[in-house]
Each structure stands twice: as C-alpha cells, then as structure tokens.
A and B are shown apart, each in its own frame.
Chain A
C-alpha cells in the first residue's frame, strides 16, 4: 500500500508537477467550455419557393427549387409543410394549408420523380432509377396547393433528400424554404390593431375624459426659482410591435432669445438657462408623477425616466412599449430656469407629442 502511495505521490506531485500548472488547468477548462461539437449535416443550397399566388386560402402552384449537394444516388425527396423551418422540431401544420390533392406538374434539373404519398402537409417524391444528382439547380412545380390563411405567420417547407425510394431511412441532404401568404388588404379576424392616444393638462387613464387644456402659463421667470408645469398623456395599443411617443418642438423662445433644452439628463439649477422635461415623479423640484397603469412593458425611455433629471431634445422618443400595452398614463414635468441676464420677453413653445406604431 505504501509503495502505491509513494508511486502516486511521485507521479502526481513530482514527475507531472510542471504539467499541472494553473495555466494548463485554465486552458483545459476553457477548451472544455468553448469547443463546439462539429456538425456533419449538409444543407441543400440555392433553396427557393415561388408561390404563383400568395393570397391567403388561394389554390395555386408552388415551385420549390434547390441544388443537391452530396454526390450520392437520390431516390426520394421529402417535403414537409410546417410553421417552423427547423427540421428536428415538432411540425405544426400551417392553418388552412392543404397539399393533399397537389400534383407534380413540372420538373427541372434532376427529374423522373412522381408523387409517392401525400397528406394535408406532406408530400414524398420518389423515382425508381437511382442517380447521382447533378450539381445544377433543380426545381419542382406543384399545382393545386391550397395556401395557408394566416397572414400573420410565415410557413416553411422542410426538405430532405433520401437514398431510399420510399422516403424512409436516413436523410442525405436537408434544408428549408420559407413562404408567407399576404393579402393586398389585411383582413382582420380579431380586434384590428389600434393605437389610442390622448393628451391634455390632465387626462384619464382610458382617454375617456380630459380637462381639454392644451397650454399652461408657467408664471414669471425668476433667476432664483424654477418654473414648473405638467401635462399628461395616455397611450395604449394592441399592436404586437408596441408604440413610441416622440416629442417634437423648439425650446422656449422669445423672438431670437432662446432658453435651450438640456441635451442630457441634468438636475434643475436655478440661475442657469435650462428647459427640460421628464416622465417620472421628482422631488427637486417637487413635480410630476410616475407612470400609471398595470402593464409594465411601457415606460419612459432611459433619459426621460430619471427622477430629478431633465432633458429636452426635439425628436427624442420619450416613452416606448415593445409589445401589446394596455392603457398607460404618463405625467410630463416641465422645468424652466433662467439666468439673471436673460433677455426679457414672453418665452413660449408648442411641443407636439407624436404617438406612432413600431415596426
């Protein structure tokens, strides 16, 4: 036993002591983590799909094109119509699609195929003479295919080539083509996308009521105090891409004398010419309010969402939602500071808040 321990100790701590350095161990760990497994799959190239009509629900022709890659005799081609193009994932048949009565009307390049079997979303092409496919592109036209009806989702045809003539066995090459039905006029099946927006000095969350006051008198400019004002806007959308509100307008001006907007989030500082806004509750000065509404996905943009920090750059997006958002109410706080040597005059501006959809 002692001899074994001595041998192990000698082997591990003396003979290999230069090998098990911390650097080597770190390298080994990094290799273990970062080396990705190699893939042996070959993808069909130059894949394409041409739908003669891409009107939802129309009966039309599809031409599927691709280039065979592996120089192996191919006897069958499998075409599976699914929402998702990824071959190893579960196949969901596109709503409304039907290829069960499709016919193979034309073949270009590798030919000699006929339809061996077909169902609502599956076609297997087969040929009896095994041949090594040419490297030139091939295409297959199918007539009498009924288009999917859902214009909001694309669909795919998962392709695979096989050596067997009955569509069984392991695949040789694979790949997917993508298609989408599109209506010239979007036909709504549910509540059509809407963007609701209202603005006033005070509004209700659902835009059902407001005080219908669209201007505010901030009072007399004074270099020792900050003039404040607030307005409110409510916005909501059922569009999946969400909304954005952009503020546009010149800073406060009286003739040629301008109180410039703050170009970055900055605290209010009396005695310095400043014009800025934000969309949250502030304590210095005490004004504003945090956004109201149950959905948290709509919020002021980062620069306009810092308490006691104000900014105003015309064209900036001040609030955004990246998906469906129930009604949300934002309170906009305005601050104006003036230096003692600011030219006298009535300083005013009109700010336009633009609510838009997103793409």
Chain B
C-alpha cells in the first residue's frame, strides 16, 4: 500500500510538472518576425453606413508561425513629411479625427509558417455623424522576444486607415513656402534653397492645412528662365500625398520624373524617381497653381511665385573670366579713347599756337 501511495504521488507530481511546463513552453515559443501587410486603406463612408473589408497578412517565415496582436491606435504627423506619429500609449487621449470608436478588428491572429491569412475588419459610421476626414492606424505586433540577453527585438507593422465622410466640410490650405527644395531635408522647412551649385531636381511647396479634412492638392508648377523658356511640372503630387488636419506639409515635385517598371513581390509596380532636368545655369522663376476641394464643396485654387538661382562652379568661373575680359576690353577702349582725345586736343592746341 505504502509503495502504491509512493508511485501515485510520483505520478501526480510528474503530471503536475508536465501540466505546469507545457503552457510555459507555449508562452516562450517565439513568433516569426517577417510579415507582409497592406500599408494603407482608404474608405468613403456615408453617415449611418459601414464598410466590411479584409486585411491580408502574410507570414514570410517558412518555418515559424506568426503570432500577431492587433489594436487600433490614433496617429498624427511627425513633421512636414508623410511619416505618421503613432500614439502607442494605451492611455493616450483620443484624437478628434479618430476612427477608433468606429473600427472593429480581431485582437489577435496566428498565421502559419509561409501562410497568408485574411482578417475581417469593419468601419461603421454612426448616423448623423459630421462630414470630414477620420483616420487611425492598425498596429500588428509580434510580441516581446523569449529568451535572455540585453537587447530584445520585436517587429510591428502598421496599416494606416483613412475614411472620408462626405458632406459640407471646412477646407483651407495656405501656401507657406515655394521654391527649390533639397530632398535630403526630408520635409523640413530649411530644405528650401535660393542658390544652388548642383543641378536642381526638386521643387518644394509647403501648405498649412487649417481645415477639418485631409487634402491632396493637384495642379502644376512652371519654371521660367531669364530667356522665357518654360519647364512644366504636371505631377505636383504624384503619390496623392495628404496634408493631415493641422499639418504644415511640404510636397516635393520632381522637375523631371522618370518612371520604371520593377518587380516587387511577384508583381510589377511602377517606381518613379527624379532625374536631372538639364537646366541651364541662371535665374529661375517658379509659378505654382494648385487646386483642392472635396466633392460638393468649393474647388479652391492656390497660386504662388518663388525663385532660385542655379549657379554651378564652372559657370561662375566662366562668368568671372568673361566679366574680367569685358572689363579689360572696356578699360582699354576707355584708355584708347582718352589717349586719342588728349592727342587730338594737344594737336589742336599746337595748331592754335602756330
């Protein structure tokens, strides 16, 4: 009997040990950190209506499942560019343009190794909701890493969700700056240049959005040199980039845009880049003419004028040499004329004396 009790106690202890260890092993299992998601969603939803859509998430890791937790967070702009600033703190106050209360997504999803999963999402706008732009972000988190070490790594992906509720809205864009832009400044206002020595490639314009909707202006920019030759930029916002509510957004437009077809993830996509427009050195006047306006609202137009000098070093050197040559020629001409005049006067005086 004693022996049986001993065996039973050992068996129970082993069972408890196994039961205790199993979930621990499951918790510590590391998720994959290789994913493919949709970066942006755009919806147009009337008050009282909803949209059912899907989020396609792909696990690129062929050996480990991808375990993701999903949540909706608000975001705004980081700077004058198009990078979102996410409000990740769970206690962050809700923004006035938040889609959080209207968006439904699952809390978590597990995607098998090398697999793809379609996750349902819904955006439902209450009846009588005011017109305007509303936006939030869906964050997919792979969770904290298992194991020790000083630095742990975790990967997250984000889908930006924009919804337009049609109706009468307040739209107002103000032109803050226009001119030649150095894209290395990445949206900052100090990226504007008045004199450059390198071939210009990008014109920038900065718009302040004081309305209650996001705006994506369209229009054209014209460059005119001292001789009246014009270069037109018709793609002033080729990506349809948005100025968010309250944002002062800097847009970049290539003076000359080159597009090429590239292979991306099994499909063709068009990649555009700024190329040298082959401008001549000198002074350029920049004229901007852009339009914006939501459906059923006034179409507004913004015009502006800027300028810049393109003065490469070789041109400055040639110009100075030419200037020096002209100055020397004029000086010699002047001296020559004076000599001739003084010679003529002295000959006259000599004749008079005689």
Contact = CB atoms under 8 A, between A and B. Distances in A.
Contacts of B275: none
A198 B64 contact: no
Interface string A151-186: 011101000000000000000000111111011111
A57 B242 CA distance: 24
Interface residues of B, number: 103
Interface residues of A, number: 102
Looking at A54, A89, A154, A194, the one whose CB has the most chain B CB atoms below 10 A away is: A194
Given A152-B240, A238-B264, A240-B240, A355 B293 contact: no
Given A48-B293, A195-B157, A359 B149 contact: no
Contact of A48 (B152, B283, B297): B297
B78 A317 contact: yes
B307 interface: yes
Nearest to A355: B157
A352 B141 contact: yes
A122 interface: no
A175 B301 contact: yes
A349 B151 contact: yes
Interface string A80-116: 0000111001000000000000000000000000000
B22 to A, nearest CB: 22
B150 to A, nearest CB: 4
Interface stretch (A19-27, A125-133, A264-272, A320-328): A320-328
A38 interface: no
Interface stretch (B104-112, B204-212, B284-292, B320-328): B284-292
Contact of A207 (B42, B60, B137, B252): B60
B196 interface: no
Interface stretch (A71-79, A278-286, A294-302): A294-302
Nearest to B42: A186
Given A2-B344, A48-B296, A178 B218 contact: yes
A54 B46 CA distance: 12
A185 B43 contact: yes
A354 B156 contact: yes
Nearest to B238: A240
Contacts of B292: 178
A200 interface: yes
A195 B150 contact: no
A142 interface: no
Contacts of A190: 267-269
B40 A359 contact: yes
B158 A194 contact: no
A325 B239 CA distance: 13
A350 B252 CA distance: 36
B12 interface: no
Interface in A246-262: 246, 248-249, 252
Interface string A210-242: 101011111000000001010101001111111
A36 B285 contact: yes
A46 B39 contact: no
B219 interface: yes
Contacts of B262: 324, 326
B184 to A, nearest CB: 7
A348 B39 contact: no
B172 interface: no
A359 B238 contact: no
Contacts of A359: 40, 82, 84, 135, 160, 162, 214, 241-242, 244
B284 to A, nearest CB: 10
A5 interface: yes
Given A47-B298, A176-B299, A196 B147 contact: no
Contact of B51 (A184, A210, A348, A351): A184
B183 to A, nearest CB: 7
Contacts of B144: 350
A89 B220 contact: yes
B185 to A, nearest CB: 9
B199 interface: no
B37 interface: yes
Nearest to B292: A178
Nearest to A13: B334
B147 A177 contact: no
B93 interface: no
B311 interface: no
Contacts of B151: 215-216, 218, 229, 231, 252, 334, 348-351
Contacts of A313: none
Interface in B285-343: 285, 289, 291-293, 295-299, 301, 305, 307, 334, 337-338, 340-341
A208 interface: yes
Contact of B158 (A84, A183, A325, A354): A354
Given A186-B42, A240-B239, A356-B39, A196 B337 contact: no
A349 to B, nearest CB: 6
Contact of A193 (B39, B242, B273): B39
B152 A241 contact: no
Contact of A236 (B149, B186, B226, B264): B264
B320 to A, nearest CB: 16
Contacts of B198: none
B45 interface: yes
Looking at A152, A179, A185, the one whose CB has the most chain B CB atoms below 10 A away is: A185
Contacts of A287: none
Given A47-B299, A86-B289, A193 B38 contact: yes
Given A252-B151, A352-B141, 10 more contacts: A47-B298, A48-B299, A85-B291, A183-B44, A190-B269, A196-B60, A198-B33, A198-B61, A246-B83, A359-B135
18 contacts: A33-B226, A84-B234, A89-B232, A152-B240, A177-B293, A184-B44, A191-B264, A191-B269, A196-B265, A198-B61, A214-B146, A241-B241, A242-B82, A326-B271, A351-B154, A354-B157, A358-B81, A358-B83
Interface of B: 30, 32-45, 51, 53, 56, 60-64, 78, 81-86, 88, 135, 137, 139, 141, 144-160, 162, 164, 183-184, 186, 214, 216, 218-220, 226, 232, 234, 238-242, 244, 252, 262, 264-273, 283, 285, 289, 291-293, 295-299, 301, 305, 307, 334, 337-338, 340-341, 344
